[in-house]
Every structure is written in structure tokens, then in C-alpha cells.
């Protein structure tokens, strides 16, 4: 029996136009009406989650910033569960700078993003950024750090991820799809770790969890959950780490699986 549905947003639940289909909204509603908790698991910070959750009809909690933050969708409370010490973030930046040409950094605090000189990442989303004049100000102006963002013009490849991870084994280096963007968290922080702790408070075992994802940052939760599902458009690492593969995000792959687990006939009115 599935008691928790953990779902990534970008590239998984959301279509390429960043919308949630009516079919997916209905499937999520059926799962919730049957008693399953719907938990968002995303690399996004809390401030970029609320609108999407509302459009999808998801209440409850969101695991944000790759597991470093838990966001209560009802109250708006942001709880930092996996901080990255600023002293460690600074040391990681110093190690990575000579390893990758053109690298620049930003600090995600859980409430805002401070961007250092040269941080030219272009996002499809409207992201509120606070530029600082020098890299040193990233460490002195940030009130906290939940994720260090590293951007360079170089494409992110598995080889690059492995090479940089070997340089800084005291942190976790991952990737969630942003062009040229690396995401660096405390070594023990992941979507899986935070979701596991939440599930423990709810009395839910991993076997009662289904998780959906598409990128390397989703691999730990796909492997931890009783059923890990990758969408067809997923990164090869996510495809290899999943128990099964569903249709792509543009073909409502999440909805297709939920319709199997929570079939029609439960009184849920289809979305229009």
C-alpha cells in the first residue's frame, strides 16, 4: 500500500511549458483522497514552490533545496534541516575555482539567493537574486547557506560531476538540470534523507513510498523509496536508479502511474 507519493517538479511533474496538466491534477487528487500524502521533492527553494503546489492541488509539505529545507505549504514555515556551513562553502569554492574555467558562485540561504561576480546562469524561471560585489561578500552577507550554486560555461557531464566530487568529498555535488549549474550541499543532505526523516515521524516505511524523478539529484530518493519511478525523459543516472520507467513529463508519466495505483471510481471529479 502506498502511503506517500514523493514527486519532483521540473522535468517530472511539470510539462515542458512549466504547467501541470488537468490529468495530473486529477491523479494527485485521487491519491490524496485515498489517504496518500503528496510530498514535493525539489531542488527549488521554498519561494519558488508555493504557486506550483497550488496549481497542482498539493497541500502538506515540500522538501526543497535538494533536502536542505522543509517547507510547510499551509503555514509558509521554512525549516532549514540541512545547512551547509558558510566556512565550508567558502573552502569548497576555493578548491573548485582552479578546477573549472569561468566558475562563479551563488549562495542559496533558504530565503534568498546571493549571486557573486560572474554568476551568469540564465534560468527559465523568474528567480529573485541579490547580487554582491565580491565573492567574499557571499560568505559575510548570507544569513545562512542551504546550497552552494556553482555555474560555469562548461556543460555538466557525469565525468565533470565525478571529478569535482572527488575534489570535495566533504560535500555532495549534484545536478538538477540547469545549464552549466552544479548544486552543492552538505554531504549528508539529500531528498531521500529528509524524506526518510519525515516518513519516520509519520510511521511510514520506505516500502510504502513511491517516488518520481528525472535528474541525478533524484537518484537517492528513487533508490530509497519502495518504488522509484523515472520519467522517460530522465537523465541516464535517474533511469538506471529507478525501479521502473513511465512516460515522459509531457505525456503525463506521473499521472499514468498514479492512475494504476489509485484508479477511478473513488468519487474524485476530473479536473477541467
Query: Residues of the chain with pLDDT > 90: what percent?
Result: 88
> pLDDT per residue over 205-222, tens digit each?
999 999 999 999 999 999
CATH superfamily of the domain spanning 4-81+189-261: HAD superfamily/HAD-like (3.40.50.1000)
| Separation in Å, CA 62 to CA 6, 43, 92 | 9, 10, 27
How far is residue 76's CA from residue 55's CA, in Å, rounded to a whole number?
A: 16
- Dihedral sign from CA coordinates of 133, 128, 143, 114: negative
Q: Residue 128: is its pLDDT beyond 90?
A: no
**Rounded-to-integer distance, Cα 133 and Cα 45, Å:** 23
Q: What count of other Cβ atoms lies within 10 Å of the Cβ of residue 50?
A: 13
Average pLDDT over residues 38-51: 95
Residues of the chain with CATH 3.30.1240.10: 86-186
pLDDT at residue 66 is higher than 60: yes
How much of the chain is in helix, strand and coil states, percent to nearest 5? 40, 20, 40
CATH topology of domain 86-186: 3.30.1240
Average pLDDT value for residue range 114-135: 81
Please state which of the ranges 6-10, 95-99, 127-131, 147-151 shows the lowest mean pLDDT.
127-131
Is-contact 28 56, C-beta < 8 A?
A: yes
Give the C-alpha separation, 4 to 60, whole Å.
11
- With beta carbons less than 8 A apart as the criterion, state whether 65 and 147 touch: yes
pLDDT of 260:
97
Q: Where in the chain is the domain with CATH 3.40.50.1000?
A: 4-81+189-261
pLDDT at 265 over 90: no
pTM listed for this prediction: 0.92
Q: How far apart are the first and last CA of the chain?
A: 29
pLDDT tens-digit readout, 129-182: 899 999 999 999 999 999 999 999 888 888 999 999 999 999 999 988 778 899
Counting residues of the chain whose pLDDT is more than 70, the rounded percentage is 95
Please say if the pLDDT value at position 270 is more than 70. Answer: no
Cβ-count burial 196-213 (b if 16+ within 10 Å, e if not): bebbeeeebebebbbbbb
Strand order in the sheet with 113-115: 129-131, 113-115, 104-108, 147-151, 181-186, 171-174
Task: Give the pLDDT of residue 176.
Answer: 84
Confidence of residue 272 (pLDDT cuts 50, 70, 90): very low
Amino acid at each position: 500500500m502506498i502511503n506517500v507519493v514523493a514527486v519532483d517538479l521540473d522535468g517530472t511533474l511539470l510539462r515542458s511549458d512549466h504547467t501541470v496538466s488537468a490529468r495530473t491534477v486529477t491523479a494527485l487528487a485521487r491519491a490524496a483522497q485515498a489517504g496518500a500524502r503528496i510530498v514535493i521533492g525539489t531542488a527549488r527553494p521554498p519561494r519558488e514552490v508555493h504557486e506550483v503546489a497550488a496549481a497542482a492541488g498539493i497541500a502538506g509539505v515540500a522538501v526543497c533545496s535538494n533536502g536542505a529545507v522543509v517547507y510547510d505549504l499551509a503555514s509558509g514555515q521554512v525549516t532549514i534541516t540541512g545547512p551547509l556551513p558558510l566556512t565550508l562553502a567558502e573552502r569548497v569554492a576555493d578548491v573548485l575555482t582552479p578546477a573549472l574555467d569561468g566558475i562563479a558562485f551563488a549562495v542559496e540561504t533558504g530565503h534568498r539567493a546571493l549571486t557573486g561576480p560572474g554568476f551568469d546562469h540564465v534560468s527559465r524561471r523568474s528567480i529573485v537574486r541579490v547580487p554582491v560585489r565580491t565573492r567574499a561578500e557571499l560568505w559575510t552577507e548570507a544569513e545562512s547557506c542551504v546550497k552552494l550554486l556553482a555555474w560555469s560555461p562548461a556543460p555538466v557531464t557525469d565525468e565533470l560531476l565525478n571529478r569535482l566530487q572527488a575534489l570535495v568529498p566533504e560535500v555532495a555535488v549534484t545536478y538538477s538540470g540547469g545549464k552549466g549549474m552544479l548544486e552543492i550541499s552538505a554531504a549528508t543532505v539529500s531528498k531521500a534523507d529528509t524524506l526518510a526523516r519525515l516518513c519516520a515521524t509519520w510511521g511510514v516505511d520506505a516500502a510504502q513510498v513511491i517516488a518520481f524523478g528525472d535528474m541525478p539529484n533524484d537518484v537517492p530518493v528513487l533508490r530509497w523509496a519502495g518504488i522509484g519511478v523515472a520519467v522517460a525523459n530522465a537523465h541516464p543516472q535517474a533511469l538506471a536508479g529507478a525501479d521502473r520507467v513511465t512516460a515522459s513529463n509531457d505525456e503525463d508519466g506521473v499521472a499514468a502511474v498514479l492512475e494504476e495505483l489509485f484508479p477511478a471510481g473513488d468519487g474524485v471529479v476530473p479536473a477541467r
